[in-house]
Protein backbone atom coordinates (compact mmCIF):
# COMPACT_ATOMS: atom_id res chain seq x y z
CA UNK A 1 0.00 0.00 0.00
CA UNK A 2 1.26 3.47 -0.83
CA UNK A 3 1.47 6.15 1.85
CA UNK A 4 0.05 9.53 0.81
CA UNK A 5 1.93 12.69 1.78
CA UNK A 6 0.92 16.27 1.09
CA UNK A 7 3.54 19.00 0.81
CA UNK A 8 2.02 22.29 1.80
CA UNK A 9 3.15 25.79 2.62
CA UNK A 10 3.39 29.43 1.60
CA UNK A 11 4.90 30.17 -1.84
CA UNK A 12 8.73 30.12 -2.04
CA UNK A 13 9.45 28.18 1.12
CA UNK A 14 11.17 25.29 -0.70
CA UNK A 15 8.34 22.79 -1.25
CA UNK A 16 9.28 21.96 -4.83
CA UNK A 17 12.97 21.74 -3.95
CA UNK A 18 12.13 19.18 -1.25
CA UNK A 19 9.72 17.41 -3.57
CA UNK A 20 12.29 17.18 -6.38
CA UNK A 21 15.05 16.07 -4.10
CA UNK A 22 13.00 13.30 -2.48
CA UNK A 23 11.18 12.01 -5.54
CA UNK A 24 13.95 12.52 -8.12
CA UNK A 25 12.86 11.27 -11.49
CA UNK A 26 9.81 9.48 -10.18
CA UNK A 27 7.41 12.31 -10.92
CA UNK A 28 4.42 13.13 -13.04
CA UNK A 29 2.43 16.33 -13.46
CA UNK A 30 -1.19 16.80 -14.31
CA UNK A 31 -4.13 19.10 -13.73
CA UNK A 32 -6.51 18.97 -10.81
CA UNK A 33 -9.85 17.59 -11.99
CA UNK A 34 -11.82 20.43 -13.58
CA UNK A 35 -9.23 23.07 -12.68
CA UNK A 36 -6.42 24.73 -14.59
CA UNK A 37 -3.99 24.55 -11.68
CA UNK A 38 -1.30 21.95 -12.18
CA UNK A 39 -0.16 19.43 -9.63
CA UNK A 40 2.93 17.34 -9.29
CA UNK A 41 3.05 13.92 -7.73
CA UNK A 42 6.04 11.67 -7.24
CA UNK A 43 7.10 8.61 -5.36
CA UNK A 44 9.94 7.80 -2.99
CA UNK A 45 10.96 4.73 -1.05
CA UNK A 46 12.15 5.02 2.55
CA UNK A 47 12.87 2.18 4.98
CA UNK A 48 11.06 -0.18 2.63
CA UNK A 49 7.87 1.89 2.59
CA UNK A 50 6.46 3.49 -0.59
CA UNK A 51 5.47 7.15 -0.34
CA UNK A 52 3.49 9.25 -2.79
CA UNK A 53 4.20 12.98 -2.48
CA UNK A 54 1.78 15.57 -3.79
CA UNK A 55 3.23 19.06 -4.18
CA UNK A 56 0.30 21.37 -3.42
CA UNK A 57 0.25 24.92 -4.92
CA UNK A 58 1.62 27.44 -2.39
CA UNK A 59 -0.93 29.24 -0.23
CA UNK A 60 -0.87 31.68 2.68
CA UNK A 61 -4.18 30.40 4.00
CA UNK A 62 -6.58 27.57 3.27
CA UNK A 63 -9.64 29.35 4.57
CA UNK A 64 -10.50 31.83 1.87
CA UNK A 65 -11.95 30.94 -1.47
CA UNK A 66 -9.28 30.99 -4.15
CA UNK A 67 -9.00 27.82 -6.24
CA UNK A 68 -5.57 27.05 -4.82
CA UNK A 69 -6.81 27.28 -1.26
CA UNK A 70 -9.84 25.16 -2.00
CA UNK A 71 -7.67 22.45 -3.53
CA UNK A 72 -5.29 22.47 -0.61
CA UNK A 73 -8.13 22.33 1.92
CA UNK A 74 -10.03 19.58 0.11
CA UNK A 75 -6.88 17.54 -0.16
CA UNK A 76 -6.21 17.76 3.58
CA UNK A 77 -9.81 17.15 4.62
CA UNK A 78 -11.01 14.64 2.07
CA UNK A 79 -7.91 13.22 0.38
CA UNK A 80 -7.21 11.04 3.42
CA UNK A 81 -3.47 11.82 3.55
CA UNK A 82 -1.32 9.73 5.88
CA UNK A 83 0.66 12.84 6.73
CA UNK A 84 0.63 16.53 5.81
CA UNK A 85 4.09 18.07 5.66
CA UNK A 86 3.93 21.80 6.23
CA UNK A 87 7.03 23.60 4.99
CA UNK A 88 7.81 27.00 6.49
CA UNK A 89 10.44 29.67 5.91
CA UNK A 90 12.59 29.93 9.02
CA UNK A 91 13.43 33.57 8.24
CA UNK A 92 9.80 34.61 8.70
CA UNK A 93 8.35 31.91 10.88
CA UNK A 94 5.63 34.03 12.46
CA UNK A 95 3.95 34.84 9.15
CA UNK A 96 4.02 31.15 8.20
CA UNK A 97 2.45 29.97 11.44
CA UNK A 98 -0.98 31.22 10.40
CA UNK A 99 -1.21 28.40 7.88
CA UNK A 100 0.27 25.90 10.33
CA UNK A 101 -2.49 26.63 12.86
CA UNK A 102 -5.21 26.36 10.21
CA UNK A 103 -3.92 22.92 9.27
CA UNK A 104 -3.45 21.77 12.86
CA UNK A 105 -7.08 22.55 13.54
CA UNK A 106 -8.01 20.04 10.85
CA UNK A 107 -5.51 17.23 11.27
CA UNK A 108 -2.96 16.00 13.78
CA UNK A 109 -0.98 13.95 11.28
CA UNK A 110 1.42 16.77 10.55
CA UNK A 111 5.17 17.22 10.37
CA UNK A 112 6.50 20.76 10.44
CA UNK A 113 9.51 21.31 8.19
CA UNK A 114 11.38 24.47 9.13
CA UNK A 115 13.33 25.12 5.93
CA UNK A 116 15.89 27.70 4.76
CA UNK A 117 17.85 27.28 7.98
CA UNK A 118 21.00 28.48 6.15
CA UNK A 119 19.29 31.79 5.35
CA UNK A 120 18.10 32.13 8.94
CA UNK A 121 21.62 31.54 10.19
CA UNK A 122 22.96 34.28 7.90
CA UNK A 123 20.44 36.65 9.42
CA UNK A 124 21.34 35.63 12.95
CA UNK A 125 17.97 33.98 13.53
CA UNK A 126 17.97 30.95 15.81
CA UNK A 127 14.96 28.69 16.11
CA UNK A 128 14.33 26.44 19.07
CA UNK A 129 12.93 23.46 17.18
CA UNK A 130 12.31 21.38 20.31
CA UNK A 131 10.31 24.11 21.95
CA UNK A 132 8.29 24.65 18.79
CA UNK A 133 7.59 20.93 18.65
CA UNK A 134 6.51 20.94 22.29
CA UNK A 135 4.21 23.94 21.83
CA UNK A 136 2.57 22.62 18.67
CA UNK A 137 2.48 18.97 19.70
CA UNK A 138 3.90 17.71 16.41
CA UNK A 139 7.36 16.69 15.14
CA UNK A 140 9.41 19.66 13.93
CA UNK A 141 12.42 19.17 11.66
CA UNK A 142 14.94 21.77 10.51
CA UNK A 143 16.13 21.52 6.89
CA UNK A 144 18.17 23.15 4.16
CA UNK A 145 16.34 21.78 1.14
CA UNK A 146 19.31 22.13 -1.21
CA UNK A 147 21.29 19.80 1.06
CA UNK A 148 19.76 16.40 0.60
CA UNK A 149 21.39 15.06 3.74
CA UNK A 150 19.21 17.34 5.87
CA UNK A 151 16.08 15.74 4.41
CA UNK A 152 16.84 12.41 6.04
CA UNK A 153 15.51 13.61 9.39
CA UNK A 154 12.41 14.86 7.64
CA UNK A 155 11.78 11.44 6.13
CA UNK A 156 12.33 9.82 9.52
CA UNK A 157 9.68 12.03 11.14
CA UNK A 158 7.27 11.49 8.26
CA UNK A 159 7.83 7.76 8.55
CA UNK A 160 7.09 7.86 12.29
CA UNK A 161 3.90 9.89 11.90
CA UNK A 162 2.66 7.56 9.15
CA UNK A 163 3.44 4.49 11.23
CA UNK A 164 1.80 5.67 14.44
CA UNK A 165 -1.77 4.99 15.45
CA UNK A 166 -4.28 7.70 14.59
CA UNK A 167 -5.24 9.65 17.68
CA UNK A 168 -8.41 11.66 18.15
CA UNK A 169 -6.50 14.47 19.74
CA UNK A 170 -6.57 17.66 17.72
CA UNK A 171 -5.07 21.01 18.53
CA UNK A 172 -7.73 23.03 20.31
CA UNK A 173 -7.40 26.71 19.74
CA UNK A 174 -8.89 28.43 22.71
CA UNK A 175 -11.74 30.61 21.55
CA UNK A 176 -13.73 32.84 23.90
CA UNK A 177 -16.10 30.91 26.20
CA UNK A 178 -19.27 31.74 24.27
CA UNK A 179 -17.75 30.45 21.04
CA UNK A 180 -16.37 27.36 22.75
CA UNK A 181 -19.76 26.44 24.17
CA UNK A 182 -21.45 27.05 20.80
CA UNK A 183 -18.88 24.76 19.16
CA UNK A 184 -19.59 22.05 21.74
CA UNK A 185 -23.32 22.17 21.11
CA UNK A 186 -22.94 22.07 17.31
CA UNK A 187 -20.28 19.36 17.54
CA UNK A 188 -22.72 17.04 19.31
CA UNK A 189 -25.27 17.48 16.52
CA UNK A 190 -22.64 17.07 13.81
CA UNK A 191 -21.58 13.69 15.19
CA UNK A 192 -25.08 12.38 14.57
CA UNK A 193 -24.80 13.15 10.82
CA UNK A 194 -21.76 10.96 10.38
CA UNK A 195 -21.69 7.29 9.57
CA UNK A 196 -18.28 5.85 9.29
CA UNK A 197 -16.22 8.39 7.43
CA UNK A 198 -12.51 8.54 8.20
CA UNK A 199 -12.78 12.31 8.65
CA UNK A 200 -13.68 12.46 12.31
CA UNK A 201 -12.78 16.00 13.27
CA UNK A 202 -16.32 17.01 14.17
CA UNK A 203 -15.11 20.02 16.12
CA UNK A 204 -13.61 21.55 13.00
CA UNK A 205 -16.82 21.01 11.06
CA UNK A 206 -18.77 22.59 13.93
CA UNK A 207 -16.45 25.56 13.78
CA UNK A 208 -17.01 26.02 10.05
CA UNK A 209 -20.77 25.71 10.50
CA UNK A 210 -20.62 28.36 13.20
CA UNK A 211 -18.62 30.62 10.90
CA UNK A 212 -21.26 30.09 8.22
CA UNK A 213 -18.62 29.66 5.55
CA UNK A 214 -20.83 28.48 2.67
CA UNK A 215 -18.08 27.36 0.36
CA UNK A 216 -16.47 25.16 2.99
CA UNK A 217 -19.83 23.81 4.17
CA UNK A 218 -20.80 22.83 0.60
CA UNK A 219 -17.44 21.20 0.15
CA UNK A 220 -17.94 19.20 3.38
CA UNK A 221 -21.42 18.15 2.20
CA UNK A 222 -20.25 17.10 -1.26
CA UNK A 223 -17.20 15.22 -0.13
CA UNK A 224 -18.72 13.47 2.86
CA UNK A 225 -22.09 12.89 1.25
CA UNK A 226 -24.17 14.51 3.96
CA UNK A 227 -26.59 17.44 4.02
CA UNK A 228 -26.87 20.05 6.73
CA UNK A 229 -30.25 21.67 7.23
CA UNK A 230 -30.33 25.31 6.02
CA UNK A 231 -33.29 26.37 8.18
N1 LIG B 1 19.34 28.98 0.58
C2 LIG B 1 18.30 28.15 0.46
N3 LIG B 1 17.52 28.23 -0.62
C4 LIG B 1 16.48 27.39 -0.72
C5 LIG B 1 16.19 26.42 0.28
N6 LIG B 1 15.09 25.75 -0.10
C7 LIG B 1 14.70 26.26 -1.27
N8 LIG B 1 15.53 27.25 -1.66
C9 LIG B 1 15.41 28.11 -2.87
O10 LIG B 1 14.24 28.91 -2.69
C11 LIG B 1 13.60 29.14 -3.95
C12 LIG B 1 12.13 28.68 -3.86
O13 LIG B 1 12.09 27.27 -3.70
P14 LIG B 1 10.89 26.36 -4.24
O15 LIG B 1 11.25 24.97 -3.93
O16 LIG B 1 10.58 26.69 -5.66
O17 LIG B 1 9.71 26.89 -3.32
P18 LIG B 1 8.14 26.56 -3.38
O19 LIG B 1 7.48 27.77 -4.00
O20 LIG B 1 7.73 26.41 -1.96
O21 LIG B 1 7.94 25.31 -4.18
C22 LIG B 1 14.41 28.37 -4.97
O23 LIG B 1 15.31 29.27 -5.59
C24 LIG B 1 15.16 27.34 -4.14
O25 LIG B 1 16.37 26.94 -4.73
C26 LIG B 1 17.06 26.35 1.42
O27 LIG B 1 16.87 25.57 2.37
N28 LIG B 1 18.08 27.24 1.45
MG1 LIG C 1 6.66 25.04 -5.87
CA of 89 to the centre of ligand 1 (A): 9
The CA distance from 100 to 86, in Å, is: 7
Kindly list the protein residues that place their beta carbon closer than 5 angstroms to ligand 2, a single-atom ion.
15-16
Stretch 55-78: mean pLDDT? 88
Q: Mean of the pLDDT values across residues 139-153?
A: 96
Looking at residue 196, what is its pLDDT? 64
The pick from 12, 14, 90, 151 for probing ligand 1's pocket by mutation, whose C-beta has the most ligand atoms within 8 angstroms, reads 14
Position with higher pLDDT, 151 vs 229: 151
Ordered alpha helix ranges (H), 62-201 = 67-78, 93-106, 117-122, 129-136, 151-163, 177-193
The pTM assigned to this predicted structure is 0.92
Could you read off the pLDDT of 172-211 as tens digits, one per residue?
A: 788 999 999 999 999 988 888 776 677 778 899 999 999 9
What are phi and psi for residue 26, nearest 5 degrees? -90, 65
pLDDT class of 4 with cuts at 50, 70, 90: very high
pLDDT of residue 221: 87
Nearest ligand, CA of residue 38?
2
CB 74 within 8 A of CB 219: yes
Residue to mutate, 6, 11, 12, ligand 1, most ligand atoms under 8 Å from C-beta: 12
DSSP code per residue over 181-224: HHHHHHHHHHHHH-SS-S---HHHHHHHHHHT-HHHHHHHHHHH
The CATH class of 3-163 is alpha beta
20 CA to centre of ligand 1 in angstroms: 11
Average pLDDT estimate for 7-35? 88
Residue ranges covered by each domain of the chain: 3-163, 177-224
For residue 167, the model assigns a pLDDT of 66
**Predicted pLDDT of residue 16:** 92
Amino acid sequence: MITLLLLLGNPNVGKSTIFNSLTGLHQHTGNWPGKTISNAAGTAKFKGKDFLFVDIPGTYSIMSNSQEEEIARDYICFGNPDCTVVVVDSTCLERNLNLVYQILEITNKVVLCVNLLDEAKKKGIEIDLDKLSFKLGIPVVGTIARKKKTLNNLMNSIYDVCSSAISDDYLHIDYPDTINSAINIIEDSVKVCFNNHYFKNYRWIALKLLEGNDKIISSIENNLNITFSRK
